[in-house]
């Protein structure tokens, strides 16, 4: 019984900072609503009901949550290795592009086509992110800049493809690819909704992400993040590990793209990523880079997105309030991290001062 309570206590302590960050963000959001002459209770109730008020709305929230959590899991892998992958959108687009290209051009049985397109999405996203990893490992190029620039390249490449080589010949010039065959669409779980089998795949990926950190590769990635010097001392090839980390991280972003095109859109469009990549960074941070925390965080932000649209329609409050709340969550999460680092440095300084004081006392 004591062991169970200890586990529960540890979980509560780990999630408390995230809960406080969300509460503070909503508190500031409520103050902004009051200043604008709106009733916060009515606005937040409408937001809540818009995301969770019916089975259809819950299903829509889950549809939005799946790509978010897969993307955030990939970002968490990079972040744990102290590699700042900001290129989720571009990796998402390249994974989706490779998956759709294979899905439209390979005539394979369904039992083979899904795994092949899934693998194509992982490799497409992985190679796009691996390029930034290669530049970081070989030339010490800042991965924040390279992944961000690769986002723009991916966006313009996708735009060219859906207006040129991959444009739908029957689409009357609209910038989009042909529809994937209905037989390859991910099956709907609940009739009358858009909730598809990608939810099951996403949860399986999250479960695999939990056990990933117990594998040899996971331990190497985490050790490189803790200290590259120690990792080298342990015989780990740091440059190769950095490239592999970015490949896996970006490959998961590519899988999120596969999920979106095979489960929701069924074709490539201009804004296929819908800004998921940037939001996934917040999801990963709020979830404390832990798979379970990421699942909860992704559901929360998906609820904000779905409920925010309803709030705008029903109460007349701009969707930008949701963006403000998301930004406030980022600020409070980062503030928590900065405070923790400051507290740890202060504790180490005090400890060192105490040790040096004892040493000087003995010498006298």
Asked if residue 59 belongs to a domain, the reply is no
Residue 316 located in a structural domain: no
Write out the E strands in 92-228.
none
Question: Which residues lie closer than 8 Å to 48 by C-beta, 6 or more apart?
Answer: 303, 307
CB 253 within 8 A of CB 68: no
Please report whether residue 226 resides in a domain. Answer: yes
**Rounded to whole angstroms, what are the CA distances from 208 to 73, 205, 294, 311?**
10, 5, 13, 36
Asked if the structure places residue 280 within a domain, the reply is yes
The closest alpha carbon to 286, from 335, 350, 238, belongs to 335
Looking only at Cα atoms, what is the longest distance across the chain? 91
pLDDT (tens place) for every residue of the chain, 364 residues total:
556 666 666 766 677 777 888 888 889 888 988 887 888 888 889 889 999 989 999 999 999 999 999 999 999 999 999 999 999 999 999 999 999 999 999 888 888 999 999 999 999 999 999 999 999 999 999 999 999 999 999 999 999 999 999 999 887 888 999 999 998 999 999 888 999 999 999 999 999 999 999 999 999 999 999 888 889 988 999 999 999 999 999 999 999 999 999 999 999 998 888 788 889 998 998 888 999 999 999 999 999 889 988 888 887 888 788 888 878 887 887 776 666 667 767 777 776 676 565 655 555 5
Chain centroid to Cα 167, Å, comes to 29
Among residues 318, 300, 297, which one has the least CA distance to residue 309? Answer: 318
Residues 6+ apart with CB under 8 A from 5: none
Inside any domain, residue 331? no
- The residue segments making up the domain with residue 134 are 67-303
Number of structural domains (the chain) is 1
d(CA 54, CA 360): 69
Q: How much helix, strand and coil, in percent to the nearest 5, is found in the chain?
A: 80, 0, 20
Q: Is residue 333 part of a domain?
A: no
In a domain, 41, yes or no: no
Contact indicator for 233, 102 with CB cutoff of 8 Å: no
Packed helices 55-80 and 291-315: angle between N→C axes, nearest 10 degrees: 140
| Total-model pTM | 0.89
- C-alpha to C-alpha distance for 277 and 271, rounded to whole angstroms: 12
The answer to whether position 198 is within a domain reads yes
């Amino acid at each position: 019984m004591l062991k169970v309570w200890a586990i529960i206590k540890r979980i509560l302590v780990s999630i408390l900072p995230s809960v406080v960050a969300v509460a503070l963000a909503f508190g500031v959001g409520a103050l902004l609503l009051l200043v604008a002459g709106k009733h916060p209770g009515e606005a937040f109730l409408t937001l809540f009901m818009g995301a969770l008020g019916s089975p259809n709305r819950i299903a829509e929230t889950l549809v939005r949550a799946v790509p978010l959590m897969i993307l955030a899991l990939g970002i968490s892998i990079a972040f744990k290795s102290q590699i700042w992958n900001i290129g989720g959108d571009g990796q998402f687009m390249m994974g989706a592009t490779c998956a759709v290209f294979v899905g439209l051009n390979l005539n394979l049985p369904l039992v083979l086509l899904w795994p092949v397109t899934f693998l194509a999405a992982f490799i497409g996203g992985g190679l796009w992110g691996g390029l930034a990893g290669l530049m970081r490992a070989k030339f010490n190029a800042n991965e924040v800049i390279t992944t961000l620039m690769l986002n723009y390249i991916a966006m313009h490449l996708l735009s060219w493809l859906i207006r040129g080589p991959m444009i739908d010949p029957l689409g009357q010039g609209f910038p989009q690819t042909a529809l994937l065959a209905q037989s390859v669409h991910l099956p709907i779980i609940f009739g009358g909704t858009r909730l598809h089998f990608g939810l099951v795949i996403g949860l399986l990926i999250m479960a695999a992400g939990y056990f990933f950190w117990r594998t040899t590769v996971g331990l190497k990635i985490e050790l490189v993040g803790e200290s590259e010097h120690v990792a080298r001392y342990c015989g780990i090839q740091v440059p190769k590990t950095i490239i592999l980390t970015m490949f896996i991280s970006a490959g998961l972003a590519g899988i999120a793209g596969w999920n979106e095109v095979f489960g929701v859109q069924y074709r490539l469009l201009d804004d296929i990523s819908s800004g998921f990549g940037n939001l996934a960074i917040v999801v990963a941070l709020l979830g404390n880079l832990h798979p379970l925390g990421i699942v909860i965080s992704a559901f929360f932000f998906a609820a904000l997105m779905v409920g925010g649209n309803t709030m705008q329609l029903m109460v007349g409050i701009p969707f930008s309030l949701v963006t403000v709340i998301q930004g406030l969550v980022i600020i409070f999460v980062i503030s928590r991290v900065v405070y923790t680092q400051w507290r740890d440095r202060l504790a180490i300084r005090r400890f060192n001062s105490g040790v040096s004081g004892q040493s000087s006392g003995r010498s006298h």
